[in-house]
Every structure is written in structure tokens, then in C-alpha cells.
Structure 1
Amino acid sequence: MREKTYSISKLHDKTATVLLTTALIIVGLLYLFPLLWFVLSSFKPGSELFTYPLNILPEKPTFTSYLDAWNSLEFPRLFANTLVSAVTTTILTIFASATCGYAFAKYDQKWLNFFFICIIATTMLPTEVIMNPVFIIIRNLGLYDSLAGIIIPSINTATGIFMFRTFFVSVPDDLIESARIDGASDGRIFFTIMLPIAKPVILTLGIFSFQWRWNDYIWPLIVLNDPKNYTLQVALRGLVGAENINWTILIAASVVSIIPLLLVFIVFQRYVTDAETTSGLKG
């Protein structure tokens, strides 16, 4: 009887695994198909983009679109502006979020709890609501039309603070007390103990923050006026004219803009789920 029950249970487990795997493959293909079509379209000449019926594979593949995009846009300057903005903002966001998250998690002050609730409440506000006052502050500080104007307002993020606070709450207080008994200051505890064990959160927030800032469009469009300071996304929007859109150049340039994000994810995603990064909390 037990063997029969075990066999039925094992059969159910296999069936569930097959169904879940099939569903996962289907969902993956649904996400992959538009991206694949988008990339393949960048190799099509303009005459093939809107032919009917539509073909996913280019009949006459060409790299002309990429050459035209490279010649039409100053990619080195645009990449440099966007990279400086994204990397600088990501580093400052991680540091600011980690320090705030540590304070909210380990400092027992009632006003900190109230302040944390206020920060989390900002996630319920549409971005458009705070754009006007933030723009006025940036203009009064003389940061209009500069990369600093798009970097500074983007440093503080409620999502990052919440991630670090949630992680630091799970760290035993005994670890901190032991360090204090050994004579370590709060600064030393934070930089030598808390930050190293928070590596998964740092890398996860780093990937998200870099992606957010690389793809940011509305705020740079508002703050930046000189084309020399344009980021990649603002420059790509400039390819869309009032009466005419050069789709071949736009698609090719958009594919190029995705490459850095893809490289960052490929390089760092394995560290996010690396079990060894949380080994300091085991046992």
C-alpha cells in the first residue's frame, strides 16, 4: 500500500514538474519572440520592414542600418554621457540606500520608523507629481543642463532603502554586539561586516539601478538642453520627427543601446543567486 501511495505521489510530482516546465518555456518564448523580431528587423532594409505578410527573417540581410546609425549619431559621446550618469548614480544609490537601510534596521529610534514610513509612502506618488518641485530645486542650484542635474535627484530610491533594510533586519544583532565588544565603531561595523555580507543586495540593486538610469528618458529630456549633454535615450527620441521616422536607423540604434544592459546582466546575474555570498549568515 505504501509503495502504491509512493508511486502515485511520484507520478504527481513528475506531472507537476512537466506542466510547470512547459508553462515556463511558453512564457519564456512569449517574452523572447518580440525581442527576437526586434533584433532581426534591424538587419532588414527599409523595403522589408512593412511588407505584407510580415516575415520574421530578413530576405536580404544588411548591416547598412547600423552603419547609418553610427554615422548619424555620435555614439561615443552619447555612450560616455549615459555611462557616466548610470554608473555614478548606481554607486551613489547603493551607498545611500545601504546607509539608510542599516540605520532603519539597527537603530532603535521611533522617529526613524516614522521617517521610513514616509519614504516608503513616496512609492505611491506618480513620478510626474514630484518632477516640478525637483526641477525648480535643480534650476535654483544651477544644475540645469548638466549631468549632475540628472544624477543627484536619482540617488535616493525608496526601493533600494527597503531592500537593504529588509536584509539588515535579518542579520542577528549579536553579530553587531560582538563587534562592539571587540572595540569596533559603528562605521567600521558597517563597512567591514555589514556591507560585505550584503553583497547579494548590492549586486541586485546595482543591476536594477543601472538599468533604470540607462533607460531613463523623461527626466534627462526635461533637464538637458544642450545636445552635447544628451544621453542615449534622449538622442534616440530625436530620430523621431514630426512627419517622418527613419525606422531602419532607429531600430539599429535601439539594438545597440541594449547591448550594455545585456552585458551587465550576463556578467553580474550569477553573483545575485550565488549561495556563497550569504555564507556569512549561516550557522
Structure 2
Amino acid sequence: MRSLLWLALLSPVASADDLSPLGDEFDARDGVAPWTLFHQAYGWPDKIKHLDIGRTTPGVLNLQPQHSAWVRDLNAPFLFRDVQGDFDVRARVRVRGEAGDIAGGSWSLGGLLARVPNRSSAAQWQPRRENWHFITTGVGHLPGRQMTETKGTYNSYSSLKLRPFPAGWVELRLVRVGMALVALARADGQAQWQVRDRWYRMEHNPAMQVGLVAYTHSDDVPHDIPEDPEVINRSREPGARTDMVMEVDWIRFARPRLAAVPDWYAQVSANPLADTGLSDAQVLAMLGD
């Protein structure tokens, strides 16, 4: 039975790809439609310092966040599309300083985020409702050191990994196959993807908000201990100095090479991407290029 479930799960997707229209090459235009801005959708303050599509640099989205963070119950600038079911989303991204190749300060990162929607808006906020995964690039805890950050959050409890990675343009990738998610990255000029993180979550909701996130820290703002997310999320620091720019050349959506069978038991008993013994090479072979 287990082998039959594996075969069903590993069947290549044969149908036409219905997610490709969600992608964006960021040709110049006014506004961000058809993207949804998280703060507008949920009634939070706008923490975007600058945002344009194809104006600052032709064919590139330019996003500069104010002091903010996407961790635990905290939120930051996030542009998303609604996606049902499995996906393979990729973006060519560069996170830099306004005048340098590396963002200034610490915790200045941007990249791809996939979030499970909830009803916790600014008007009806409730703690411990956040569930999402991301892969970003930029500066983490140590200033001047380029990293990828991967982060999984379950009911607002975040676990993260920081790993060194080249500065400059990189491709980031998030793949969902049923209850398994994989985060990948490769620097410009690299042919091979690197598996940066893998997660398995008991998540029956087929809907996720998938898109681009960016956040940065300013030394002008003291770190609140203990952290009060409701107060922090409702606060803006437009005068706080920051030095972080996220540029996005393109973002592209597709169905993954593998199709997850719509059966919970197949997911908990046979999803091979959930197996801890699976090597990175095996993961890459399953997901394809």
C-alpha cells in the first residue's frame, strides 16, 4: 500500500499549468495591481518607505521597507497572490544597501513568503494565529554578512536558520507539495539549486498567500523586551534610519513537477518529501530544475 501511495504522489503533473498567469516581469506601471498589499488587506499601518514597479530601474520592482520585522506575530511589507494547492514559485532578487552591495545594519532581508490566511485583522487581532514559511536573502544578526534566512512559523512560534550566501542577484524558490515545503536558492551563474530548508506541516488548508516580503531594522528604534506585537504592529517609524533595498527582477509561479494526492492518509504515510533521510540530491531530483 505504501508503495502505491508513493507512486500516486510522485506522478508528474500532466495538466496545463494554471499558475503561470500569477507571475510578474515587473514592466513599468503605476500601482501594484494585481498584487495585494498585506497592510491594506488587514488594516495595518503602511510600513513601506518606497515602492515602485519599473520606475527606479526598468523591469525591476523596488521595495524599501521602514523599520519592521516578519517574525512571530510581527508583520512587515508583504505583496501576495492567492494560491490554491501546490505551487513552485521562484523569484530573482537582490537585497542591497542604498549605496552598497550589502544592506546596512542588521536584520535586513527580503524574498519569498507563503502564508496560511487567517481572520486576525488589525480590527480583530488575536495572538498566536500566524502560520507561514519563507526564504529570504540579506543581512541577518551580524552586520555586513550576506545570508539566506529560512523561517517556519507555527501558531506564531518562529524557528529560523541563517546560512552564509553570496551577495548580489540570487534566485529564491519555494515549493509546496501537499504537506511538505522546500526552500531553495542559487546565486547568479550557478546551475545547481541548493536546498536551504525543508518543512513538513499538518496543514489541510489548500489556500496560501504567496509573494514577496521585505523588512529591516533601524538602530534608532529600541528593541522592546518583552515584545508586544499588537503595539509594534500598530506603530510606524518613518523617521528611523534604514539602509535596505530589495529589487525583484521577476517572480514566476507554476505547479510543481510532483502532484500531491488529495488524501490526508497518503500525506502522513507516504509523502516522500517529508522523509528526514531523503538527501538533498534526491529532493532536487524529485523537484526538477
TM over 0.5: no
Question: TM-score under structure 2 normalisation?
Answer: 0.24
Which one has a larger percent helix, Structure 1 or Structure 2?
Answer: 1
Larger Rg: 1
Question: TM-score under structure 1 normalisation?
Answer: 0.25
